[in-house]
Each structure stands twice: as C-alpha cells, then as structure tokens.
Amino acid sequence: MFDSPEERLKALRFLRNVQVRHLDQTDRWIADEERRAAEQARRRPPPPPPDWALERGKRALPVLVHTAQCWEPFFMQAITREQALEALTRGGVPPCARCEPDKALGVLD
C-alpha cells in the first residue's frame, strides 16, 4: 500500500495528528466532568455534626468523650456511637462532666 518511506511517514504523521485530536477531545471531556463534579460537591450540604467526639490531649492521647453539645472541631475528633461506647467502657477514657455522654449512651459505672 505504501511503497516508499516518505508515504509511510506521511501516513504515520496523519495517524499521529488524528490521535492527538482524539486525546485533546478526551482531555476536554475529563475537564468538563471534573468541573461538573466540583459544582455538585459545592451544592451538597455540609455533613451533619457528629453525635460524639473524642477530645485528644498531648501526643494525641484520648482525654475525654463528649456529646455533640460540647463539639469543638479544633480540639476534637468525630467518632461513632460504637467508638464512644468502646472508649468509655473498655478504653478507659472518662466522660465529659459537662455534657455527660455516659448518661446519653446509657453507660453505668
């Protein structure tokens, strides 16, 4: 089909140009999808505040378990109900005296 090296080179360059156009189109599709995903993420409401929190002290050691009423994200880590129960019952982490998560969780001494 291609008798000379020049014809083969011309065909290969043509193929390369076609592939570059396809790659450019794919890049535009990816950018469009990324924009749509970012827009959807901006429209989503923020997640609700956690019901339970673990206050951490020096060296990231657990200090107290709190309810959402004591929640201060700067000093606390969101935890699940199960993690709060675990920390109070087996982890030896004391409950906050102000918000009393042990009472809210039904943990008795």
Per-residue pLDDT tens digits for 53-75:
998 887 878 889 999 888 666 67
Average pLDDT over residues 80-84: 92
Max Cα distance, the chain (Å): 92
User: For position 73, what pLDDT does the model report?
Assistant: 60
Full DSSP string of 22-70: HHHHHHHHHHHHHHHHHHHHHHSPPPPPPSEEEEE-GGG-EEEEEEGGG
